[in-house]
Structure 1
Amino acid sequence: MPKPPAAELSIVGLGASAGGLEAFETFFRNLPADTGMGFVLVSHLDPSHTSILTEILQRTTTMPVVEATDQMVVEANRVHVIPPNRDMTLFQGRLQLSLPERPRGQRMPIDAFLRSLAEDRGENAVGIILSGTGSDGTLGLRAILGGGGVSLVQDPATAQYDGMPISAIHAGFATHVLAPELMPGVLQAKWRRQGIVKETAPTPATIGGMNQIMMLLRSGTGHDFSGYKKSTIGRRIERRMAQHDIEDIELYARYLKGHPAEILILFKELLINVTSFFRDSEAFAILKKDVLPQILADKPDDYVVRLWVAGCATGEEAYSIAMVLREVMEESGQELRVQLYSTDLDDDAIATARTGFYPPNITQDVSPERLRRFFIKEDSGYRVKKEIREMVVFAIQNVIKDPPFTRMDLVSCRNLMIYLEAELQNRLIPAFHYALKTGGVLFLSPSESIGGHTELFSPLSRKWKLYRTAPSIASTRAMMASGLSWATGATRSPPVEVMTKTKETNIAELTRRALVQSFAPVSVMTDCKGDILYVHGDTSRYLRPPPGQATLNAVEMAHEGLQLELRTALGQAVSHGTPTLERDVSFMVGAEVRRVSLGVRPLPDPEPGLGLVLVSFQELPALSSGKPARRRRATGSIDRQRTEELERDLAYTRENLQATIEEQQSSNEELKSANEEMQSTNEELQSTNEELETSKEELQSVNEELITVNAELQAKIEQLAGMQNDMKNLLDNINVGTIFLDDRLAIRRFTREAAKVYRLVNTDVGRPLGDIKSDLDDEDLLSKAQTVIETLIPYEREVRTTGGDWYLTRIQPYRTLDNVIDGVVITFANVSARVAAEQAEQEGHDIAESIADVVDRPMLVLDGAFTVIFANNAFYRGFKASPAETRGRSVYALENHTWDTPALRDLLETVLPNQQSFDGFLLDNRQMRLSGRRIVCGASNRPLILLTFEEGVAG
């Protein structure tokens, strides 16, 4: 396959931890070597152990497998493996290595790489999650899907450890769930499909199929995606087509018509839920340092801070803003009410956001301080604390067609508009201005901007896209002129049914108000503590603001004399649900005696825990003072006695009440002290629990790394076992006795042939070789071995056993893989047959020489180069020559070159090669005749020439 351009190279990131080695091997064993993709492996490795993953995987694929280095370019058809104790990311096609910043047990190397892969490659990114424990890789797949890439997850049934695959599947970030051996087929199909799409322009049929799908989505879900970017929509449609193995978009449109459930699945696919906590941390730092303090500055205590996060996905950004806002309020000492509205189109994402539960790998984005402050650690993740969850209200909203919130202090819409066409972006920016107060802040992502609406906003941070609203009615005009459904119907006449219903409702409301004003007594609505929530009528005759700190508590505002009765009645209503009806209560206001009919009624709660109580006051006429004087005098003494008794009872009651109050205060102080101690103990236990959780995470991480190392070592052991078997068969079949000695000349191991020289048994391993009796005539081998260790010069010699066998003995240094001398190796090669053959040959040679020496006729034996290799005694006597003057010399150089004649040369070099022999050649310088024969040496099969001489007779 041809290599794609570097910018378009598809890169596959594979992540695994425990049990991942087997999955890696299965994947690459089924993967062709020419896919045109680059592969990067990220595994949980022991930081203190040298990885042999590269060596192991090289046996399963013909592609080059290399350990990654810093700034290494990812190449097609090559496998790049993360080294131990390194974090790795991808930037512009190059691998970036760095030392880990987080402690062991909190690292998420797979998430970190897959996120960078999604940012760098976009739709050319592929994420694969294989066997492993925990949830590392889940958020990385989320980023890859958001960028238009593809995610593959190992079927949990085929994984040794299913934690990582199940985490990714349950989170909904797996486009394919299958066994590792089936993944290469999916990758090849994707590569071919991408090549076809890039090489061909959209046809009218393709455009028509896309329009049909948009219409089916609008009719099936009520949401119009025509304003979304076509490239974004197209990639997600292609993913669904690949899932059903459909290559024609028109066929997929017909498939949608026949399968309504697929329309909902495609709708979910189009909703891009890619987010994270504190995304773009520098932007949130500016938000905390500059923006929010300005928003909260000089705000009264009853001020309500209103914020809106549009397109919140699963809620990470909304919670991030809530945490930062809580930190700002704590640092400034302000305690304001917060209304943070967080909306999204995806109901599943909103449900996830409401639970506030997130996987453990959010530790990559949330600092340890914020984790302790705002999260609760649970077995399988982190849950946002209740105080932060209660700050945020999540709701389903289509920001394109539903009305916006209004009077907002801050609106955050990050990475939503990048998926929309320019027309929709131009409609949303005025909508956000309309939603904000004057001086409010708009928070966008670095990839977004306000476009041409510069008259609506002034920049606070151009880099991080923070804008402050400018006073303008242009947004209101734009809203009215836009095609938004909630803004376009304002000028139309309402339907008749609505008008009629509105008119009837107004009459009913008017009637209700008239009845309340005419017949209902003066009343207040309170909660279970007596705090006033609503006031009906003029309550000044019964309630008045008390001196000191302002309060809205009805009991504390009641006039003296009415306070005790109201407190008692309110307690009965809240504790027992018992109403107090028409209680006649008299109380003094200055010198005036007032009578009131007090009513306290508990009401059904519209919300659990609210505890509403209705308190009503109906004035009664004062007692008549027009009785006869005599009657008054008669009853005066009785009234005075009665008054004195009541005053004594009242004084006694007051003393008892004071004592009770003091006892209650003492009890409260003791309870407060006990509560503080319990709280302190709870904090200590919580701290201990956090330490235990951290230790548990570290142990789990170490366990994963040990499992990976164990798998690598197991593979290495299998490889070494195979090599040992090969070595054993090799040594056994070459019939060479071998003894391995350490630096103390103790036996490491030996072969069975060595037992023929030394009397060795298996139990001799570890014993010094000098303790073992050998069958050699020469017992000096050990001193030679020691010399070899000291000098590193090999030793070689033929030795004889007592049985008569001959062995070629070699002693060489024993070198480790690190080139360290760690003993010697002694080998014994049986050369008895060769020695016997040589002896036999020598014996035959000696016999032949003895025979030739007793012959009276001179004789010479020449080799192929006409050099004398033998002359008998008769030759030496007849020619007065010595062996030194004859043997090893050319026949032409004999007797001072007198034999170097053309005739002799012609005879030896021309005639003899064509004939077997010649006879009777007369030497010129002597009266001798020369005869020659071609002979062959029996041992070496070498051609030779035999020359014989006899005294010549003149012709």
Structure 2
Amino acid sequence: MKPPLPLAVAPAAPPAPTPTAAPAGPTPQPRAGGGGDKFPVVALCGSAGSLEALEAFFGALPERPGLALVVVTHLGATPYSQLPQVLQNFTPLPVAEATDGLRVRPDHVYVIPPDCDLSLLHGCLFVLRPTQPPGHRLPIDFFLESLAKDVGARAACIIFSGLGADGSAGLKAVMENFGLVVAQDPATAAFDAMPRAALATEFVDFALAPAQMPAELLAYAGRLQMPGGNRLPPPQKDPNAQPAHALQKIFLLIRQRTGHDFSLYKRNTIFRRIERRMNAHQIKGFAHYVRYLQENPSEVEQLFRELLIGVTRFFRDGAAFDSLQEHLQPLVLAKEPCSTVRVWAPGCSTGEEVYSLAMLLLECFDAAGPGRGLKLQLFATDIAPDAIDFARAGRYPAAVAADVSPARLARFFQQVDGHYQIRKEVRDVVVFALHDVNKDAPFTKLDLLCCRNLLIYLSAELQKSLLPVFHYALRPGGILFLGPSENLTGFQDLFQPLNGKWKISRRLETAAAPARLLNFPFAMSSWPSVVAHPAAMPPTAAHSGAPFADLVQKNLLAAYTPPAVVITPKGEILYVNGRTGKYLEPAPGVGGLNLFEMARDELRVEISGAVHRALQTKADVTVERVRVATAAGPQALRLSVRHLGAPEALAGLLLLVVFEDQPTPRRGRRAKDKDETPAADIRDAVLDQELQYTKRRLQTTVEEMEGSPE
């Protein structure tokens, strides 16, 4: 580590020259951070106790670091209106107070004026008078968001000592745009609230003492200046190319650790997230990063979290929500009294959007008038456990006040310890659950499906699979709400646009729809998150990986064999083969994957009864012509429950439940020749099937009651 520079006093910074003017003074020495016009812009953010931290930071900074430094603090007009002069005592770099239109330059320090907000646009600083009252301003979040948008990966931020949580929302924007995020080690901070709030987001790359930070910043700047840096090339056409192999290995490591497959996500986003992690650890080369992932499981989890980072906020695109409310109001008015409005928000992230929908619909309920007894049920799902936990708590930083109207803040939030807490009556109508829209069965009978800014991260192939599923999940006339950059190209026969700009559409009933809805995207070979350590299974059941030959076999089985699930006697799902979306759907609430809970309503009694009989008789059970409703109409089904005797260690512990579609007799068909069944015989056959179906349901209920301990 380079020793601290002696404290010096330098004159105030001269006015910024025009882009064509040459800097005055002696011939510049080489910069520590490298040359070029694309220099990093570093936000130095702090509050109480940050002055000492800034002194230690500048003391360890080289004379020409090649960085533009912007100091953003909460300090008011008195006594620190002379902050530029104070900081000038810590560094030989020119220090100046920010003014409108001042272009940032490397090797300069800029300071936010007292009691002002600061932003960056096209490389220039702009000073704004704050609109929030004292105590509600968040100048650090405000600047970091503009910084991230303006310079992208060249943005870096440091959260120093301070009170409150300002900066914890803005640093997420820096991270989302592939910048560097550093926090002061709380043990070295005079006031550790701000660094701890930053670390709690899990988006901080390094927690360091102030004197250690310059070295990390310069290393990051050096990597940005390298030709190409650590940027991953586009996917290789040659399957034997090393980068493509490395990427597949990374996908495998993530899937093995988390159970989620990112191979169907758009590669550009994946590349940039991996590049950011490689830069953070100063790793050069794909093979080295793969090795690092293998040796550090925590890095796999961190990469997984960063791949899931989504931009979300309350009422994002306010005009879109205004338009949505206009279309939801007639839908609510048309609902039968005492009925339920059902909503699904896949990819809900940290919950801001789904809570926005809840507020919107509760306002629609108010407008519809009291006494109708309507109920609201929202399902919010994501594959990130941390995001689900955060959303379920419903506790958000004070910065959300900028996105929510005062009336909604007063009605739907309460202030707790400097945060905004979603009120219990709002949280109670939202069910948060882990769910992968790529492989898990959809929620159904929906009045509204909100999937904003998720499809843009998925491959075109996966998007084409999901849109028909969304059509299937919605009720007739239900509303689909997508992000402004997403579209329904190729699916105009399934959805009617209501607002083209904000991508609000209504589900259509068309003749072509049923045939297109038969291919669900749930061709899963397994649910690793469930299979990895099933509590009721012996160690021999654990599956830690499979060679490519096994993967091929599993995919062939999924494509050419009936849908089936392997379960324990209690119904816990351990393995899924084929497309089960017609028979199973996620159950509300928190918990594992249980067949009896996930079975669709019309199948639940049949499945429970068949499993019960198979366990009692210790024999295989087959039930013919079970009826299930599908988008294409009623479907007859053969339901089989079989005992699995291999491997020997699991004999008696596993059951295979198989779903086989059967042709359904068509009613009202007129006989054309003597070989065809008359219409009256068909009707008799259908009535007989209905009678047998009712008898089986009754018998199942009796058997279950007899076997109940109560």
What is the TM-score of this pair, normalised by structure 2? 0.66
The match for 2:393 among 355, 363, 367 is 355
Matched, 1:309 2:345: yes
| Residue in 1 that maps onto 2:460 | 422
Structure 2 CA distance, aligned partners of 1:71 and 1:473? 59
Taking structure 1 as reference, are residues 339 and 64 closer, same or farther at Cα in structure 2, changes over 3 Å only?
Answer: same
Q: Deviations over 1:218-271 (max 9, x none)?
A: 233221111223332233333433454432320121232234443333322322
Q: Per-residue deviation at 1:273? A: 4.6
Question: Residues 347 and 382 of structure 2 are in contact (CA less than 8 Å); yes or no, is this contact kept in structure 1?
Answer: yes
Which residue does the alignment assign to 1:366? 404
Aligned residue for 1:448?
A: 486
Q: How far apart, CA to CA, are the structure 2 residues paired with 1:461 and 1:178?
A: 49
Deviation at 1:371, TM superposition (A): 2.3
Residue aligning to 1:270? 307
Answer whether contact 2:493 2:513 (CA < 8 A) is retained: no
1:506-655 equivalence runs, <5 A:
506=610
Question: Which structure 2 residues correspond to residues 606-755 of structure 1 after superposition, within 5 A?
Answer: none
1:45 to 69, 75, 81: 75
What SS does the aligned partner of 2:439 have? Answer: coil
- Superposition pairs of residues 192-591 of structure 1, within 5 angstroms: 192-196=222-226, 198=228, 202=233, 204-288=241-325, 290-334=326-370, 335-472=373-510, 477-481=515-519, 483-485=521-523, 492-493=561-562, 505-506=609-610
Name the structure 2 match of 1:188: 218
Q: Contact 1:119/1:147 (CA < 8 Å) preserved in 2?
A: yes
State whether structure 2 residue 125 is matched by structure 1 residue 95.
Answer: yes
Query: Paired residues, what number?
Result: 509
Asked whether the 8 Å contact 2:69–2:107 carries over to 1, the reply is yes
- Structure 1 vs Structure 2: percent identity of aligned residues? 44
Structure 1 gaps, min length 5: 513-613, 615-955
Would the alpha carbon gap of residues 477 and 390 (structure 1) be closer, same or farther in structure 2, given more than 3 Å must change? same
* Offset from partner CA, 1:515-557 (integer Å, 9 cap, x none): xxxxxxxxxxxxxxxxxxxxxxxxxxxxxxxxxxxxxxxxxxx
Determine helix, strand or coil for the equivalent of 2:518. Answer: helix
Q: 1:739-793 CA distances to partner (integer Å, 9 max, x unpaired)?
A: xxxxxxxxxxxxxxxxxxxxxxxxxxxxxxxxxxxxxxxxxxxxxxxxxxxxxxx
CA distance in 2, matches of 1:496, 1:265: 32
Distance apart, 1:385 and its partner CA: 1.1
1:51–1:84: 8 Å Cα contact kept in structure 2? yes
8 Å CA contact retained: 1:48, 1:85: no
Matched, 1:149 2:179: yes
Is the contact between residue 3 and residue 76 of structure 1 (CA under 8 Å) also seen in structure 2? Answer: no
Question: Measured at CA, do residues 176 and 412 of structure 1 come closer, stay the same or move farther in structure 2, by a change above 3 Å?
Answer: same
Contact 2:35 2:225 in 1 (8 A): no
CA distance in 2, matches of 1:475, 1:21: 65
The answer to whether the aligner puts 1:32 opposite 2:70 as a matched pair is no
Q: Does 1:61 find its partner at 2:124?
A: no
SS of the residue 2:81 aligns to: coil
Provide closer, same or farther for how the CA distance between residues 216 and 9 of structure 1 changes in structure 2, counting only shifts above 3 A.
Answer: same
Q: 1:153 to 1:477 in 2, by over 3 A?
A: farther
For 1:355-387, what per-residue CA distance to the aligned partner results, in whole angstroms no more than 9, with x for missing partners?
Answer: 222233322323333222112222252321111
Are the aligned partners of 1:458 and 1:468 in contact in 2 as well (CA < 8 Å)? Answer: yes
Q: Deviations over 1:274-325 (max 9, x none)?
A: 422222223223333x122132123221221111111111111111111121
**Structure 2 residue matching 1:51: 3-state secondary structure:** helix
Q: What SS does the corresponding residue of 2:256 show, helix, strand or coil?
A: helix
Shift of 1:159: 1.2
Q: Distance in 2 between matches of 1:504 and 1:418?
A: 40
Cα deviation per residue 1:841-861 (whole Å; 9 max; x = unaligned)?
xxxxxxxxxxxxxxxxxxxxx
Q: Give 1:445's aligned amino acid.
A: G
Provide the C-alpha distance between the structure 2 equivalents of 1:304 and 1:294, rounded to a whole number of angstroms. 15
Alignment of 1:834-849 (within 5 A): none
Structure possessing the higher relative contact order (Cα contacts under 8 Å, 6 or more residues apart): 2
Q: Which amino acid aligns with 1:401?
A: K
Q: Write out aligned runs for 1:821-900 (5 A).
A: none
Q: Per-residue CA shift, 1:169-197, capped at 9, x if unaligned?
A: 12323121111221121122222223336
What is the one-letter code of the residue matched to 1:419? Y
Supply the distance in 1 between the matched residues of 2:565 and 2:260 (Cα, whole angstroms). 28
The alpha-carbon deviation at position 97 of structure 1 amounts to 2.4
Q: 1:156 to 1:414 in 2, by over 3 A?
A: same
Is the 8 Å Cα contact of residues 341 and 392 (structure 1) preserved in structure 2? yes
Amino acid of the residue matched to residue 493 of structure 1? P
1:220 partner letter: R
Higher mean C-alpha deviation, range 412-421 or range 195-204: 195-204
**What code does the residue aligned with 2:51 have?**
L
> Separation in 2 of the partners of 1:207 and 1:214?
11
Mapped partners of 2:155, 2:516: distance in 1 = 40
Instruction: Tell me the distance in 1 between the aligned counterparts of 2:498 and 2:100.
Output: 37
| Distance (whole Å) between structure 1 residues aligned to residue 321 and residue 408 of structure 2 | 13
Flag the 1:282–1:113 CA change in 2: closer, same or farther, 3 A.
farther
Q: Give the AA of the match of 2:379.
A: Y
The question of whether the paired residues in 2 share the 8 Å contact of 1:148 and 1:232 is answered with no
Larger relative helix fraction: 1
- Opposite residue 300 of structure 2, the aligned amino acid is I
Gaps of 5+ in 2: 1-30, 526-554, 572-605, 617-709
Q: What corresponds to 1:815 in structure 2?
A: none
**Is 1:78 paired with 2:108?**
yes
Aligned partner of 1:437: which letter? Answer: R
User: Which digits, 9 at most, give the CA deviation of each residue in 1:622-679, with x for residues without a partner?
Assistant: xxxxxxxxxxxxxxxxxxxxxxxxxxxxxxxxxxxxxxxxxxxxxxxxxxxxxxxxxx
1:126 pairs with 156, 165, 171, which one?
Answer: 156
Q: Distance between the aligned counterparts of 2:357 and 2:272, measured in 1? A: 31
* Offset, 1:504: 9.0
Retained in 2: the 8 A contact 1:138–1:173? no
Q: Which amino acid aligns with 1:330?
A: D
Judge conservation of contact 2:438–2:521 (CA < 8 Å) in 1.
no
From 191, 199, 202, give the equivalent of 1:169: 199
Question: Which secondary structure does the structure 1 equivalent of 2:161 belong to?
Answer: coil
Pair 1:247–1:494, CA change in 2 (3 A): closer
Report the Cα distance in structure 1 between the residues aligned to 2:283 and 2:566, rounded to whole angstroms.
49
Greater shift in the superposed pair: 111-120 or 481-490: 481-490
Separation in 1, partners of 2:564, 2:425:
45
Query: Which segment is superposed worse, 500-509 or 21-30?
Result: 500-509
What amino acid is aligned across from residue 189 of structure 1 in structure 2? A
Hey, what's the Cα distance between the residues in 1 that align with 2:415 and 2:565? 57
Distance 1:92 1:447, change over 3 A: farther
Query: 1: distance between equivalents of 2:102 and 2:507?
Result: 46
State how far apart, in whole Å, the 2-side matches of 1:330 and 1:496 are.
Answer: 44
Structure 1 CA distance for aligned equivalents of residues 607 and 187 of structure 2: 65
Structure 1 residues 430 and 97, CA gap change in structure 2 (3 angstroms): farther
Residue 198 of structure 1 aligns to a residue whose secondary structure is coil
